[in-house]
Structure 1
């Protein structure tokens, strides 16, 4: 299972309680150790930051259930929605814990009734998201406290409870079974102690003088423990805990206030008890989960032996394993599974030779979905670009070792069976980021579906070594960086620049730090200012057919462009979005794709059957109609949402003069973040002025009930996001905190030609300069003369 949440909602501190229950750390250190934060930058920035959501995707692929953590004060935030959507898209079943209850008691000092109303709203918000994104194959995934799928926790203090805990406590007293008692502990249920009667108001007004059952039987007792501990009323604390079977030792009673409170709550309501019970009872086992996950995971026929093996989670079935992440070793610059590179640059004679780093146990991490992976076995390695039946991105190699990954520790084993996660040694040189493993003789097996990420690498920087002799180090370092991060893209431009593309300012910062310190052993590099990736699009059908000639002048293309269009002309669901979400794809059945394009997007049936390629990478939101191969490659580079129609083609009779080198050169909106800002009312002016100055657009403003905080959601162009956090804090005296996640592409309205929109013209000129083109935009008349 995975633990997923918005940034700083308490994933790591809560996980410490589970680690402590296993005896790996002391219970007293749970919440402070954050054992799962293995990197310093994780501790500094928190891995829950939206720039690292690709790590969430990699984790979800190899798990079956998710513990969703929500801060009881901040509630459901932008990243909560993102990670929950990813989980449901992978057919991962969720359970919920509402965390940081200590904040509600100590910081905000909310009443029990106020807390209940907040909790109810958070649960409702989660269930709205579940209803929106749920896959029918998953069944009912709504979370409900009365069913035991919602916990209430304080990760920092190491305590948690579900209604099951209190229902067991009170069921015997009231002479009812536990399930019935649970239904009484949530909702508009009240108990009259004088008349010993239960009252259900069903949404009506609360009976005068009575406390809601959840507050009366759950929150009020906890509140009394908090009050007595903080007021140092030791006799009252001892008496209360003795009544529920908890004995405080002499050492416990020497603690004061918060340390005493933490010890009391850990002994009464230990977090691991509540969370483990909820996880074990309500999250599926691999055997259960793979029954409904198999067809969504496997790209081949649903009735072949490999899909059957996945569906049955069969240890004796044919081997199918998915590698979701490459994990660097503790010795810098090395990878789990890597061999020493023969291309490693040698130090000069003047340079002192560094001692060779020790070989650490290797690991390309993933999950065995079918069969058993063994040390020494010969396996078929299928990379993310492998297509069944072809030889590209395909290798046959031996597994050197099989390893279990346990936090910061590893342990070698002989074999690992279906349903488990493990790491393989010695195969990382054949896998860049992810891939599928099968038996070497499984010639007919298909790969597992490549992971889809919720963010895009739209921020780019150019890097170069300050010392020219370090160029080999840079090239090798970029290869290693590309492997280490699921989403970073390292490439080389035609100009010779080495480019790193990431998801945001922080992601780029961490990637550059890893590149220089870990993968280049501290060699200095120069870094350009961040550059945002733009895409050209069209808003209407071109008014005339245009001609483009190949470099040798022997081939001509006549084509025109038009937008891909919207579903049923409602201007709400662009076809480009449907392609990116997988509803329409290059790999789907041709008849099924034609049916969707005709019925939903109003395409002509004959035209829909003439689609020859998608782009970029054969999958993106651009289509070439009635053309193939070379032209398709040329159309994929820099467009989004464009349909290119080939009107007429004149090719040279000799095949030598009409190859890809001649045809490709004849055939390219602004990325936008959703930013969520939390601030008090007196900082709202600074928030609005900051967004206005950065071309931001506010789309929603809400006040959090029971708190002085406001939530502002806005669209912010990625190009304006650099330094936005510092700028916002400066404008609001440090009272506003933003979180940004890639949301959509947006058309920039403006004329890029001289005398047109200054901002659009500036962007186009900068792009032309980077690509070595003329630093002015030729007028259209110049093109018309050439045509």
Structure 2
């Protein structure tokens, strides 16, 4: 009791007033036992026009770190759900509740009327006290990272939730990388603080060091992705952009919350208290003095521990030890009153009740979002450069930059969501960046597929009327007459025309508008399965179901193989389980399907230059084409993939980049005919016949042949990657009538295949990175052997002190080909209950030669060809070429 006697003597008479002053900053305060349920569409619609008072935010982080529970606390504070509701507001599917995890991102719009006291320190632009928070909850499992990407595109800030004990994990880093790439600043919630008090019994200093390490790791990871436009995005408790929370029990605080309390009591200003409550600041309760170094005395305690951690610990210990008499005195001092029914509670139920009254989590979360995340009015000024494909000074870019509700409509749809009553129909979730969208408006839809919308062409472009506009409220959508820029929106009636899951919408008359840039995903659908109907007559339902499945997830695609089978591509095993379930139950009406064992997508590449100059003839024998192939550096392939080098670059600039950064000949920049497949892939055709005008006659035919061949390589009809095909010469008949286009396309394809086969062809296979923990040297040895058995290797392992235990953090790379069942095996091998997640990391060239009979790659090639219905033995090289 010594701590409480000394502290409460100073606080007596002030604490009740101080905590009342720092009560929930919204006028509808959260009462855990008698929370009124209120939802008013008119309030939301009115707040939509207050551009400075809107916050669009994604809640992101690792699976199991508590994102959904924090959102529930905010929904409770807004009067949407009662405090004792066990159903997560953002769970929109039955299997999400069953699995206890978010599978599909979902939105919720929350209205708050803030108090003047809560906003008195706010220095930014605002329009009154009404605030609208548009939240999107995103999955924490890496297999659903496309949902995370879709959420980030239509929001301006990210609340990153991190388990304060487990720290920064794979999906945390993935989320940070994606967020900063979209110019989205983060704030941090150090969640699950209840583990420190209930599970691990962590002392104050040990807890502080744990929190400090997590924050430092968080900031360290952001360094390579920092953007000068965003400025300093580091998080620090003294800035007020770190909240310490327990989402499960609904309480939390920032240092600014605590500093306000002590500032009102002591007369010392809030900013001084903020500095004292973090870092190397110690308070000696005996001498009543602050120092920057610990004196070693038992009465000298770090500021955070003394004034933040220990008071909470004392209250929780009194509750859990059933020390009711001592607890009543504490509650009087902190201004918490209990009714008769609440006074009968015990254990965790009592703790939850008291802590929610004392330190309601919605208070620090709301203040942190309003004070430290940008409004759409602010964010769109710097995001427009990354969003808009067209000139940055045209009327559309200007309208986006100014977040102009009276400007031309610019709306981006980032995902399609099945309706609750008919899974074959979808509504479009998007963000209005400029203008205003309303029901009945005719909109111009510009698709996002790589070979889709091209400026000036009608391909993948439609004009259609919006049936209904709505706002998302978890499972439900509330109809609203219109939605101005700066807000998220749900649109009905466009699902037949948005086939790829994303699109740009403008008004039908805005024919000069460019689309908003497509999203860049951090994962790839490298795992594939064959799906078949058990009853052949159900094939039409399968095709319809596959189209719906592809619409629901932009990364899930389907193809028809030469054998007639349909395959779908997914990110991993969890993604496969969900897609199989959705396809059969939701999109095919319960029709029984057969799903094959998973297999893996590969790329075909080369590792050397062609050993010979390859010549092919057109079928009529009158025209000849000479080609070679050579490998491209992986770094150049990546530059092409992310758009740093591409088909629309200035040739001189492109040549300089190829020469200075990748060691290629400078003149190549002007001589690249195209990239492929799909005009933007990581292969290219280069004209090496300088100033040969005759080649212009067949350029289009060669390009067409290349686009077809690069989609299906010579080895096993897998796509090509990182190959440059060089046109060395062409001999054409003098009479143009002997130049048949279709024959030249076929000749080009055969030349490309022959070039590939003479340049030491190889397969490229994908690798997962997997992060996991072991609690002993024995477990480390077991898990490392398991990695090697799967053909992988351990990249890094380090010993880490975690509260109450020592663990080993291990990072390993495992080929996707041998990864199936790997996570389950790891869980058996280690006692640490942290679910290992496999994340696609890179492509690597296989050493094995597919042309060497008896090699692993040759067996793999034969297996793939058999599955695709091709000849099991590859066509001999002599059949591809006419002469070497």
Q: For 2:557 and 2:640, how far apart are their aligned partners in 1?
A: 21
| C-alpha spacing 1:244/1:730, structure 2 compared with 1 (3 Å) | closer
2:654 aligned with 1:654: no
* More moved, 679-688 vs 275-284: 679-688
Q: Which moved more, 1:427-436 or 1:549-558?
A: 549-558
Distance in 2 of aligned mates of 1:21 and 1:304:
42
Question: What is aligned with 1:743?
Answer: 841
Aligned residue for 1:365?
A: 429
**2:775 is the counterpart of 1:674:** no
Give the Cα separation in 2 of the matches to 1:107 and 1:549: 75
User: Against the structure 1 CA distance between its residues 586 and 135, is the aligned structure 2 distance closer, same or farther, given a 3 Å change threshold?
Assistant: farther
Aligned equivalent of 1:12, options 63, 68, 79: 68
**1:137 partner SS:** coil
Mapped contact 2:286–2:299 kept (Cα < 8 A) = no
Count residues in correspondence. 749
What SS class does the counterpart of residue 798 from structure 2 fall into? strand
1:586 aligns with 2:650: no
The 5 Å alignment of 1:142-161 reads: 142-161=234-253
Equivalent position of 2:801 in the other structure: 705
- Cα deviations by residue, 1:254-280 (Å, 9 ceiling, x for unpaired): 111111111111111111111111011
Q: How does 1:37-48 map to 2 (within 5 A)?
A: 37-43=91-97, 44=99, 46=101, 47=103, 48=140
Please identify, of 598-607 and 549-558, the stretch whose mean Cα deviation from structure 2 is larger. 549-558
Cα deviation, residue 220, structure 1 = 0.6
TM-superposed deviation, 1:332: 4.2
Residue 776 (structure 1) shift:
3.1
Distance change >3 Å, CA 180–CA 68, structure 1 → 2: same
Distance in 1, matches of 2:792 and 2:243, equals 37
Q: Which residue of 1 aligns with 2:507?
A: 439
2:657 corresponds to which of 596, 602, 609: 596
Shift of residue 49, structure 1, vs aligned partner: 0.9
Say if 2:614 and 2:881, in contact at 8 Å, map to a contact too. no
**What CA RMSD, in Å, does the superposition of the two structures yield over aligned residues?**
2.1
Instruction: Give 1:636 shift.
Output: 2.9
- Structure 2 residue runs of 5 or longer lacking an equivalent are 1-56, 104-139, 688-698, 712-718, 757-763
- The answer on whether the counterparts of 2:774 and 2:831 sit within 8 Å (CA) in structure 1 is no
Q: Within 2, Cα distance between the matches of 1:437 and 1:65?
A: 23
| Contact in 1 for aligned 2:403/2:434 (Cα 8 Å) | yes
Q: Which moved more, 1:765-774 or 1:289-298?
A: 765-774
Aligned to 2:87: 33
Q: CA separation in 2, counterparts of 1:156 and 1:377? A: 43
Equivalent pair of 1:238/1:247 in contact (CA under 8 Å): no
CA positional deviation for 1:662:
2.8
Q: Which moved more, 1:324-333 or 1:265-274?
A: 324-333
Compute the displacement of 1:42 (Å): 2.5
Pick from 397, 403, 410: which aligns with 2:470?
403
Q: 1:509 to 1:376 in 2, by over 3 A?
A: same
Aligned to 2:120: none
SS at match of 2:675: strand
- With 646-655 and 761-770 compared, the bigger mean Cα shift is at 646-655
Cα distance in 2 for residues equivalent to 1:200 and 1:453: 46
CA distance in 1, matches of 2:824, 2:94: 22
> Given the two structures, how large is their TM-score scaled by the length of structure 1?
0.91
What does the per-residue CA deviation read over 1:581-605, in whole Å, with 9 as the maximum and x for residues that have no partner? 3322333444433332222222222
Q: 2:425: which partner in 1? A: 335
Residue among 771, 782, 786 paired with 1:690? 786
Deviation at 1:23, TM superposition (A): 1.5
Q: CA deviation at 1:551?
A: 5.8
Structure 1, 445-454 or 417-426: larger mean CA deviation: 417-426
Whole-angstrom CA distance in 2 between matches of 1:169 and 1:485: 47
- Confirm whether residue 729 of structure 1 aligns to residue 827 of structure 2: yes
The Cα of 1:456 is off from its aligned counterpart by 0.4
Structure 1 position 93, deviation (Å) = 1.2
Equivalence for 2:526: 458
Matches within 5 A, 1:257-268: 257-268=347-358
Change (3 A) 1:239 1:734: closer
Looking at structure 2, the residues matched to 529 and 551 of structure 1 have their Cα atoms a distance apart, in angstroms, of 42
Residue 714 of structure 1 is aligned with which of 812, 816, 840?
812
Q: Specify which structure has the bigger relative contact order, considering alpha-carbon pairs within 8 angstroms and separated by 6 or more residues.
A: 2
Q: Take 1:364 and 1:552, find their aligned partners in 2: how far apart are those partners? A: 52
- Which residues of 2 match residues 184-195 of structure 1 at below 5 A? 184-195=276-287
Between 1:644-653 and 1:107-116, the stretch displaced more is: 644-653
Q: Distance in 2 between the 1:249 and 1:326 partners? A: 47
Q: Alpha-carbon deviation of 1:8?
A: 1.2
Report the Cα offset of residue 558 of structure 1.
2.0
- For residue 784 of structure 1, report the CA deviation from its aligned partner: 7.8
The 5 A counterparts of 1:638-653 are 638-650=719-731, 653=736
Task: Tell me whether 599-608 or 374-383 shows the greater mean CA deviation.
Answer: 599-608
Matched residue, 1:114: 206
Query: 2:445 — aligned with what?
Result: 381
1:282 has 2:334 as partner: no
CA distance in 2, matches of 1:96, 1:304: 37
TM-score by length of 2: 0.82
| Matches of 1:282 and 1:317, distance apart in 2 | 28
